[in-house]
Structure 1
Amino acid sequence: MIPVVDISAFISGGTGAADVVRQIEAAATQSGFFLVTGHGVDPAVTKRLYDLAHDFFDEPQDWKATIGRGRGVTGGIAFAPMKEEALAGTLGMKTPGDLKESLNFGPLLAGDTWPDRPEGIEAAFRAYFAEMETLAKHLRAIFCSAIGLAPDHFEPAFENHLSALRVINYPEQPEAPEPGQLRAGEHTDYGFMTILRSEASAGGLQVQRRDGVWLDAPNIEGAYVVNIGDAFMRWSNDEWVSTPHRVANPPSGFKGTARRQSIPFFLNPSAETMIECLPPFAGDGAKYDPISFADYIALKTSQAFGG
């Protein structure tokens, strides 16, 4: 069971703030996944990005293939076409390419020149990114309260954060997938945490329980799915868990609309931030040596691809 937590009392400083902290701590240490409501994210900003990205994905494939392939623009756009990425490869599994395409952006990440259509797409990305920064700051404060740290303990690590915003299109599947091919293969997220705007569809997000069983993540209008990333799991000496997840295909023979669009925000600290065991988790000794976030990402990538 993936819990749903209304965080409005914590944001407002209301009497239920302590209960919010308890619920999120329990979810983070048991499944690593939870949904949040009462988050204050502007639904109009969310809808604008969703709609404009939807329009982009409706453009001809030949034109989309010319967009976002360079890396010369800091804060530019990057486009990943269908089947280019196979996320299960990050866990050492060999599968066909995932059945998705995506647009990717981060203010401090390398990309390419923004397209001239649909009009306003860059502004929509930047406005939504700002909304996610605000929500992420609230969640970091909740995490600090749960752990017993000062509310602003993590803030220096996010002054020049390398966070990324992605909009993913999972199109209809007129042909059967290849063996082992999913909309998004099994993986964990490398960073601090992920905040996902998802939607109900045939073929959606699944989270792996500790016993290996896959659970369908619930879909609640206006809620966000939050999961702990690998870097924070290491920061917490493995007490807060980063859990494998995937995006399933629509059921075989499904006749309805199965197109799906999701918007994950990957919260990452700055490159120079040191990932080292936090004092409240160090009672039995740290499991890992300190490492910078930049070196940690390089290590994870190397491990995933057999380096």
Structure 2
Amino acid sequence: MQGNQVAATAACGFVPVIDLSSKDTAQGRVAIAEAIDQACMNSGFFVIVGHEIPQGLINRMFTVTKAFFELSHEEKSRVAHRPGVSGYRRMGGTTALSLDQETPPDLCEAFSAHVTGELSEEERKKLGDQWATWTLANIWPKSPTDFQDAWQEYMAAMGDLAADLMRLFALALGLNENFFDDKFDHHGSSVAVNYYPPQVEPPLPGQLRRGPHTDFGSLTILYQEDDRGGLQVLQGKDNWRDVSAIPGSFVVNIGDLMALWTGGRWVSTMHRVTNPQRGDTSSRLTIPFFYLPNHDASIEPLRLYAETSDGHRQFGTSVTAGEWMSRKLQKLFAGTA
């Protein structure tokens, strides 16, 4: 797509498809930025194609990760998340806790690794003293044998893609394209894969594969299986909209911190992962990359956009990214405020 064709995608549906293939031209970047702005004001979600992430890398990441989750519980537990390290969680938490909602545990297993998890212990001690996952070391399974290599290559590729999306975000907000660069130059981003096992028993009342929630940080880049549904985005008060998987695409959404950063111009939208139909015992795998600012980055709401419909300025409160994320993560994993 070129120029106005890219921009036109933003008007096509609650979660539009935006083609990034023209992002290497000045005209193309402006058009893409306009489409992103419209999507983020409307739903906070959009789908990207033309992103240049090699399909071979995506396939390899998916293959090794699925193979890991299909190992026995004993094998997976060898790299279990525990004090000091980030790895496998038999239950991926109760996501609704981040919004102070009580629900049964999500029907999900998870494995996470952080960009900062490869740093030395001495270097990680410099990442703040908050209750925070980005201060943990990564722990890698020995099987599949190429698991670590695939994950590290994938994290690096996602980091590059996310950095360019943030530059497009800056253009969309009328800022210098490099406005966000120094807020992410030692970011604590992560890949936290969700594995939804086959449901051989009925879920509890109110129990979902992932409960309703918003994301916490700046942006999320999600790969989901082409032939497995489940992701839904909330439109209005009670209209849940399916987000279908387009082959070779990624779903992008902004988080609460990004919404605050824009002074409320952009929205961080509730989403969930529904259960399969009764009798469907297939599994599902999604691969989200959470792009987070530096732990010590000061997030100042952009005054240009911090204006309510009645004309009153509402700038919001400045926060430090690490403190913000720590509070959210404590609710999710520790059940504390």
- With normalisation by structure 2, the TM-score equals 0.84
Residue 285 of structure 2 aligns to a residue in which SS? Answer: strand
Within 2, Cα distance between the matches of 1:216 and 1:196? 15
- Mapped contact 2:47–2:251 kept (Cα < 8 A): yes
Is 1:105 paired with 2:107? no
Provide the residue aligned with 2:299 in structure 1. 275
Q: Deviations over 1:259-285 (max 9, x none)?
A: 111100001001110111124224553
Provide the residue aligned with 2:87 in structure 1. 78
Provide the residue aligned with 2:250 in structure 1. 224
Cα pair distance change 1:56/1:226, threshold 3 Å: same
Unmatched runs of 5 consecutive residues or more in structure 2: 1-13, 117-133
Displaced runs of 4 or more, over 4 A: 301-306
Q: Deviations over 1:136-169 (max 9, x none)?
A: 1221111111111111100001011011111221
Structure 2 residue identity aligned to 1:79: Y
Unmatched runs of 5 consecutive residues or more in structure 1: none
Q: Give the deviation of 1:70 after TM superposition.
A: 3.1
Within 2, Cα distance between the matches of 1:60 and 1:253? 23
Cα pair distance change 1:141/1:112, threshold 3 Å: closer
Structure 2 residue identity aligned to 1:268: L
1:149 to 175, 179, 182: 175
- Mapped contact 1:277–1:286 kept (Cα < 8 A): no
- Mapped contact 1:202–1:251 kept (Cα < 8 A): no
Provide the residue aligned with 2:70 in structure 1. 58
Structure 1 residue identity aligned to 2:32: V
Cα pair distance change 1:93/1:203, threshold 3 Å: farther
Within 2, Cα distance between the matches of 1:14 and 1:274? 30
1:184 to 210, 231, 237: 210
Within 1, Cα distance between the matches of 2:167 and 2:75? 43
Provide the residue aligned with 1:196 in structure 2. 222
Structure 2 residue identity aligned to 1:9: S
Structure 2 residue identity aligned to 1:62: E
1:209 to 230, 235, 242: 235
Cα pair distance change 1:303/1:253, threshold 3 Å: closer
Count of residue correspondences: 300
Provide the residue aligned with 1:46 in structure 2. 58
Cα pair distance change 1:290/1:15, threshold 3 Å: closer
Q: Deviations over 1:78-121 (max 9, x none)?
A: 1111x351111111221111111111001213145322111021
2:185 to 159, 162, 173: 159
Provide the residue aligned with 1:258 in structure 2. 282
Residue 195 of structure 1 aligns to a residue in which SS? Answer: strand
Within 2, Cα distance between the matches of 1:235 and 1:3? 22
Within 1, Cα distance between the matches of 2:293 and 2:109? 26
- Mapped contact 2:263–2:303 kept (Cα < 8 A): no
- Mapped contact 2:298–2:320 kept (Cα < 8 A): yes
1:94 to 81, 97, 102: 102
Residue 252 of structure 1 aligns to a residue in which SS? Answer: coil
Q: Give the deviation of 1:303 after TM superposition.
A: 7.1
Q: Give the deviation of 1:286 after TM superposition.
A: 4.0
Residue 246 of structure 1 aligns to a residue in which SS? Answer: strand
Is 1:168 paired with 2:194? yes
Worse overlay, 200-209 or 146-155: 200-209
Q: Give the deviation of 1:63 after TM superposition.
A: 2.0
Provide the residue aligned with 1:294 in structure 2. 322
Worse overlay, 202-211 or 89-98: 202-211
- Mapped contact 1:69–1:111 kept (Cα < 8 A): no
- With normalisation by structure 1, the TM-score equals 0.92
- Mapped contact 2:222–2:288 kept (Cα < 8 A): yes
- Mapped contact 2:227–2:245 kept (Cα < 8 A): no
Is 1:121 paired with 2:147? yes
Cα pair distance change 1:301/1:64, threshold 3 Å: closer
Is 1:249 paired with 2:287? no
Provide the residue aligned with 2:9 in structure 1. none
